[in-house]
Every structure is written in C-alpha cells, then in structure tokens.
Amino acid sequence: MTTVLDVLAAICLLAGSALAFAAGLGLLRFPDLLARSHAATKPQVLGLLLMLLGVALRLRWGPAIWMLVLVALFQMVTAPVAAHMVTRAGYRTGKVDSRALVVDELTDDLHAAAEEQDLTD
Amino acid sequence: MTVVVVLCAVLLTAAAVLALVRVERGPSMLDRTIALDTLTAVLVGAVAVHAAWTRRTDTVPVLVALSLIGFVGSVAIARFASVEPEGEGRVLTREEVAALELDRMDAEDAERRDTDAEHHGGGAEGDVRRVEEPDGGGEGGDR
C-alpha cells in the first residue's frame, strides 16, 4: 500500500516538475506578454496542484495535508487575480498588439465608454 | 525515490533558470513580473519536493507563506505599471552604467563646491557670537 502511494506521489511530483519546465520554456520562447502569461499559469495552477498532491500522498499526516489544501486554495484564488491585474496593466499601457488578437472586445468597449463619457459631459 | 527527486530537481532548476533569463531580458516590467511569479511557483514546487523527499512536515508552512507573497508582489507591480519609453526597460551595459556614474559624481562634486563657497568662504557669522550679544553677558558670559 505504501509503495503504491509512493509511486503515485512520484508520478505527481514528476508531472508537476515537467509542467514547471514547460512554463520556463514558454516564458523564454513566446513572443509577447499575453502568450507568456499563458505559459506562466502552468506551474501556478495544475503543476502546483499535482506537486501538492504528491507531497500529501507522501506525508500522509492530517495537519500537513490541511495546510497543503490551504496552499492550493490560496493559489487558486490569487493566481487568476494576479494574472488579470498584470495583463490588464499590460493592455492599458499598450504592450498588447491588437492586430495579433482574434477577438478584441475590450478596445471596442473602451471606445464606447469614452464616447458615452463625452456625451454626458 | 531518490531518482525521482533528482529528476524533479533538474527540471525545476532548468525552469528557474529559464524564468531568470526572461527576468533579465524583459523587455517590460510586466514580463518580469510574470517571470518572477513563475519563479515563485517553481520555488514552491522545490520546497514541496524537498518536503516529499525528507518527509519533514515543518517546511509545509513555508509553502503557505510563499504562495501568498508571490501574489502581493505581482499585484503591487501591476498596480503601479505605467507606459515605459522605448528602451527604458532594459538592463544597461557596463559602459552606459560607467557614463551615468561619472555624470552623477560630477554633479555631486559641483554641489559640494557650491556648498563650500557658501558655508566656509563667507564671514564668520555663527550662532555662538549672536548668543553673546544681548545684555553683554547672560548665557554666554562665563566663556
């Protein structure tokens, strides 16, 4: 039983590390901000969850597992917020090339909002 | 288990180095923020691998702290991101740093010369003499 759990833990840890490595490659190779932030989410969510699962399978001790659950919850709440803040700041400071986007609703919305502002003034 | 840990360590180290290369290249502050975020995630992974290897439970709180700190840092940088001029966000070469340093030292020298002429070149009107003047004695009398 313990051997099975250890093997499962090893597989989880290896998969998480592989995702982290893929994110490193993506950060280096991808051309712009949005693509890089896409690559950066791999170890932040799935990779981290896999690694925490691996640690939990290996430790097998209640209090530590609850703390690992806490880490997973924190990460899943904060990672989207941080990514949203960073890419929003990138969009607003002109670091996103709108010609490379397939759908670009935010630019239309910003123009519409600016026109509405002009009308009310 | 040892083989797995070594493999994980190699993969994580490679990921950290690649993220660091992106931190160095930029080209903007936000690219660096994303790379540093990834670096924090890789660090959490490394601590997790260590905890799984040694089966120690006392490094688990470190994971909680790390997962919070990465968030605060990237949000703070994103909040104060502004339009950067072209070429502003790169690391300077050695010659450029030397030129900047020379300019700064020149400015400091000029400032020091001005201060010297102002404070040590003029007449000796210090506070000590003005204390003695009223009443021809008083506080400064026993000197």
In chain B, where are the structural domains located?
1-81, 90-119
Closest CA to B19 of A22, A38, A85: A22
CB A25 within 8 A of CB A78: no
Q: What is the pTM of this model?
A: 0.71
Q: Which of residues 23-62 of A touch B (CB under 8 A)?
A: 23-25, 27-28, 33, 36-37, 40, 43-44, 47-48, 51-52, 54-55, 58-59, 61
Output the pLDDT for position B117: 64
Domain boundary assignment for chain A: 2-96
Closest CA to A11 of B7, B14, B57, B64: B7
Q: Which CATH number fits domain B1-81: 1.25.10, 1.10.3470, 1.10.287, 3.10.180?
A: 1.10.287
Residues of chain A with pLDDT under 50: none
Q: Does residue B27 have a cis peptide bond before it, meaning omega lies within 30 degrees of 0?
A: yes
pLDDT value at B29 more than 90:
no
Residue B140: pLDDT band (50, 70, 90) is very low
Residues of A in contact with B74 (CB under 8 A): 82, 85-86
Residue A60, phi then psi, degrees to nearest 5: 55, 50
DSSP code per residue over A90-114:
HHHTT-S-GGG-S--HHHHHHHHHH
Q: Minimal Cα–Cα distance from B112 to chain A, Å?
A: 40
Output the pLDDT for position B12: 92
Residue B134: pLDDT band (50, 70, 90) is low
Q: Which of residues 8-27 of A touch B (CB under 8 A)?
A: 9-10, 13-14, 16-18, 20-21, 23-25, 27
* Interval B74-116: pLDDT, tens: 888 888 776 665 555 566 778 888 888 999 999 998 888 877 7
Output the pLDDT for position B118: 61
**Higher per-residue confidence, B95 vs B6:** B6
**Higher per-residue confidence, A33 vs B118:** A33
Sequence-ordered list of residues with C-beta below 8 angstroms from that of A20, at least 6 positions apart, any chain: A42, A43, A47, B11, B12, B15, B38, B41, B42, B45
What are the tokens at A24?
């490193």
* Interval A91-113: pLDDT, tens: 877 777 777 778 878 778 888 88
**Higher per-residue confidence, A96 vs B48:** B48
Q: Do A86 and B78 touch (CB under 8 A)?
A: yes
